[in-house]
Amino acid sequence: MGLDQNAYKVKSSYAPTTKTQTVRTTEICYWRKHNALQGWMEELWCEKTGKTPIELNCQDLEITSEDLDKLEATITNNKLPSTQGFFYGSDTSQDESRKEYDLEFVSKARAAIKEGYTITYSCWW
């Protein structure tokens, strides 16, 4: 049991003749107990929604291009906040492989936005 985190690219389309909406969701990244990223996402959640960090659990948080710019700068400058939580894990290191993976997410998300997708982040603990 612990913190599982996902990023998805989402595209919806509407068919006026049948009055149906189709939503296509594809996972682009998965993290396990990345408490520093979770802390950053919780801060973004609170800023965007006015809700508490705990309310992000099992919800979707839309990530915009502007959010990705801020996230990239935070990752590059090793400023992701170490975040405590019962299920978040105790690894607070931001080693190079984790940093590379996080930056890879930023790159994939930007490409998906250019293709017309919406990016969402969700977590579950």
Region 94-112: mean pLDDT is 91
Beta bridge partner(s), residue 31? 5
Compute the average pLDDT of residues 91-101.
74
* Residue 85 pLDDT grade (very low, low, confident, very high; cuts 50, 70, 90): low
Q: In sequence order, which ranges of the chain are alpha helices (DSSP H)? A: 35-49, 65-76, 96-114
pLDDT of 82 reads: 78
pLDDT range class, residue 86, cuts 50, 70, 90:
low
Q: Using alpha carbons, select from 99, 2, 8 the residue that is nearest to residue 62.
A: 8
| Residues above pLDDT 90, as percent of the chain | 70
Residues 8-32: pLDDT tens digits? 999 987 777 777 777 889 999 999 9
* Average pLDDT along the chain: 89
Please tell me the pTM assigned to this model: 0.85
Look at residue 93 and tell me whether its pLDDT is greater than 60. no
